[in-house]
Structure 1
Amino acid sequence: MDFTPSDEQSAAQGLAARIFGDLSTHERLTAAGTGTDAELWKELCAAGLPAAVEDVGLLGLVLILEEQGRTTAQVPLAATCVYGLLAVAAHGTAEQRERLLPGLRDGTAVATGAFPARGGVHIAEDGALYGAVPWVPWLRDATHVLVADAERGLWIVRTGEPDVTAVPVETTAPWSAGRLVLDGVRGERLGNGQPGAYADVLATARTAFAGLQAGVCAGSLARAVHHTVTREQFGRPLSTNQGVLLRAADAHMDTEAIRVTAYEAAWRHDEQRACAAQALTAAWWASEAGKRVVHAGQHLHGGTGADLDHPVHRHFLWGRQLDAYLGCGGEVLEELGLLLAHSSQEGSS
């Protein structure tokens, strides 16, 4: 395994760090409220970052999303790349790639996904889609929704269709979410219904959002370190207290565990190796370790951490949202156990 970024991946990460660092400020995030920063999204698309994901692969996307997570920038980057660009590029027909990818590259189209499949949507015999999904991230911004049916494939639904309703929903993190209601809309099948497409997109999503969580945790920890180094108690910095040092060290190790497992899953995916177990492992670390880190970030701020307007609280909200998205730790661990048991049985037969 070699997680060393290529020149293209490093350049994309550096560009993302500069744009997010310059534009995703506390003042702009406060002004955006629970919505998307439309100007930041335009800047990212003008710089070609979403389009670059096709070239830098999933590992490159993880690196970019780390930079987004550090600043908790409110843009639908992960959703558009995972459920739009990468899904269409990997599983769409030649005609779908030619028709859909240009808009997803330049940001005029925004994608999201009704993932994972939990039985909320069913497909009638005539191909019409019915049902509801309680909340879908970035649905209020989306032009296209990738609807998942684990047995019958993936379907692209346009949010502007008359049989599609998006009801605004406020989630823990400000992800412009909405409740998706489908009342007989005829979706467009992604690709030719290849087996394994749903599992691949779900593994890709889990890996990408684990990378986002790594950035959220790194940003939370960086703020905590700055606070404890500059804040004094009884004439010395808080960072000199052993309890503070140990809590920060644990948070650092947890953050590194999220990062390296996301890197491994992404690298294996890009190398076209089996990565289902690695994606689940990254998702488990993102859930279990992620919530520990963002809690530690708040606690290390002391009373300041209880201020809902403090920047560290935004990391806490994102960390808790990512903890449960695509499956909480217990659900993911059960799925991983079943996968490993199945693989063991196949190997012994």
Structure 2
Amino acid sequence: MDFHPTEEQSAAAGLAARIFRDLATHERLAAAGTGSDAELWKALTSAGLTAAVEEVGLLGLVLLLEEQGRTTAQVPYAATCAYGILPVAAHGSPAQRAALLPALGSGEAVATGAFPGHGRITATPDGRLTGTAPAVPWLRDATHVLVPDARRALWLVRTDAPGVTTSPVETTAPWSAGRLTLTGAAAERLGGEDAYERVLAGARTAFAGLQAGVCAGSLARAVEYTSTREQFGRPLSTNQGVMLRAADAYMDTEAIRVTAYEAAWRIDQGLGAREHALTAAWWASEAGKRVVHTGQHLHGGMGADLDHPVHRHFLWGRQLDAYLGCGSALLAELGDTLAATQEESA
């Protein structure tokens, strides 16, 4: 198992870091409100960083999403790649790949997913979908939504199709989310019976990578603040309590990162990865929550300022915790998966 990035993955991550650093500034994020930054999205797609995901794979995407998370950049990058480019590339028909991949890569089309499904959507044999997904991330930007039905089949739905209604929903983080209502909407089937589990594992891994970046960015801000803020004539960072909390946050961030890397590597290699993706999601949910709380607490009174940049990391970390699923539910699913694996091998 080799987590070292390839030359192409390193180059893509470096370019993404530069674009996010230059354009996802505190001032631009504040001006964007709860919407997406259209100029930043154009910069990413023009640089080929969306289309490149098909080549750099899921591990490459995790590296790219870490850079997005460090700056909490408000663009539909994670959703378009995890629910658009990678699923269509892996499970789409030749016609679907030809029609969608160029458009997704150029930014002409934007994808998201109504995940997790929880059986809210039903489908007729001829692909007519009915049901509601209460909060879909980046739905307000999306042209296409990947929808799992109650039988765990996957369907592609256009947001401008008859029978599709979207309405804005505000979530903890400003993710341009929306409520998706389907009333006999026409859809295209994507992939076979195993597509749902594979896409879900990939999405969990991708969003865990995003959380690793959110946590790294929060911790970096806390380190900078406590190293320059003095109390009783010395920097806050010299206090043992501060050092211990920062060290714990660092270890939690590394645990999120390495479990996401492992799950992504296994998926890229075509190996079984359901339990590995669940492990990454659990670390991202449980440890991510701890890290962003620590980042805010180490800022002292400044951490209570809703306009401070560290508060945005707090909101993203809590949103990702909720989106990936609470720790107890993920552990229960992981336990069921491991038990089923043991029964099959017995």
TM over 0.5: yes
Residues 31-78 of structure 1: CA deviation (Å, up to 9, x unaligned): 000000000000000000010001100000000000000000000001
**Which secondary structure does the structure 1 equivalent of 2:324 belong to?**
coil
**Which secondary structure does the structure 1 equivalent of 2:139 belong to?**
coil
Root-mean-square deviation (CA, aligned residues, Å) is 0.8
C-alpha deviation, 1:152, in angstroms: 4.9
Residue 184 (structure 1) aligns with? 184
Residue 114 (structure 1) aligns with? 114
CA distance, structure 1, for counterparts of residue 152 and residue 317 of structure 2:
32
CA distance, structure 2, for counterparts of residue 295 and residue 287 of structure 1:
12
Contact 1:112-1:136 at 8 Å conserved across structures = yes
C-alpha deviation, 1:13, in angstroms: 0.4
| Pairing of 1:1-349 with structure 2 (within 5 A) | 1-149=1-149, 151-191=151-191, 194-348=192-346
Contact 2:119-2:151 at 8 Å conserved across structures = no
Residues 140-185 of structure 1: CA deviation (Å, up to 9, x unaligned): 0000000012525110000001210111000000000000000111
CA distance, structure 2, for counterparts of residue 150 and residue 134 of structure 1:
15
**Which secondary structure does the structure 1 equivalent of 2:2 belong to?**
coil
C-alpha deviation, 1:347, in angstroms: 1.1
C-alpha deviation, 1:197, in angstroms: 0.2
CA distance, structure 1, for counterparts of residue 152 and residue 324 of structure 2:
19
Q: 1:5 to 1:88 in 2, by over 3 A?
A: same
Residues 248-305 of structure 1: CA deviation (Å, up to 9, x unaligned): 0000000000000000000111111111110000000000000000000000000000
CA distance, structure 1, for counterparts of residue 329 and residue 49 of structure 2:
33
C-alpha deviation, 1:117, in angstroms: 1.4
Q: TM-score, normalised by structure 2?
A: 0.99
CA distance, structure 1, for counterparts of residue 145 and residue 133 of structure 2:
11
**Which secondary structure does the structure 2 equivalent of 1:129 belong to?**
strand
Contact 1:307-1:313 at 8 Å conserved across structures = yes
Residues 296-315 of structure 1: CA deviation (Å, up to 9, x unaligned): 00000000000000000000
Q: Which blocks of at least 5 consecutive residues in structure 2 are unaligned?
A: none
CA distance, structure 2, for counterparts of residue 49 and residue 198 of structure 1:
25
> Segments of 4+ in structure 1 off by > 6 A?
none
CA distance, structure 2, for counterparts of residue 203 and residue 127 of structure 1:
24
Contact 1:44-1:50 at 8 Å conserved across structures = yes
C-alpha deviation, 1:326, in angstroms: 3.2
Residues 218-256 of structure 1: CA deviation (Å, up to 9, x unaligned): 000000000000000000000000000000000000000
CA distance, structure 2, for counterparts of residue 235 and residue 326 of structure 1:
43
**Which secondary structure does the structure 1 equivalent of 2:141 belong to?**
coil
C-alpha deviation, 1:327, in angstroms: 1.9
Contact 1:217-1:319 at 8 Å conserved across structures = yes
C-alpha deviation, 1:134, in angstroms: 0.6
* Identity, % of aligned positions: 75
Aligned length: 346
Q: Which amino acid aligns with 2:159?
A: T
Q: Which amino acid aligns with 2:208?
A: A
